[in-house]
Amino acid sequence: MSTRQKGYWAATSLVVFALLAGGLGDVMRLKPVAEGIERIGYPLYFLTLVGTWKILGGFALVWPGLPKLREWAYAGVFFVMTGAAISHAVCGEVVYIFAPALLAILGMLSWKLQPEGRLSTVVTPGANRRPSASPI
Residue 28 pLDDT class (50, 70, 90 cuts): very high
Higher pLDDT, 1 or 58: 58
- Read off the pLDDT of residues 101-114 as tens digits, 9 standing for 90 and up: 999 999 999 999 99
pTM: predicted TM-score of the whole model, two decimal places? 0.82
Question: What secondary structure does DSSP assign to 10-63, as a single string?
Answer: HHHHHHHHHHHHHHHHHHTT-HHHHHHHHHTT--THHHHHHHHHHHHHHHHHHS
Residue 1 pLDDT class (50, 70, 90 cuts): confident
Q: Which residues contact 116 (CB under 8 A, 6 or more apart)?
A: 122
pLDDT at 118: 67
Task: Quote the mean pLDDT of the chain.
Answer: 90
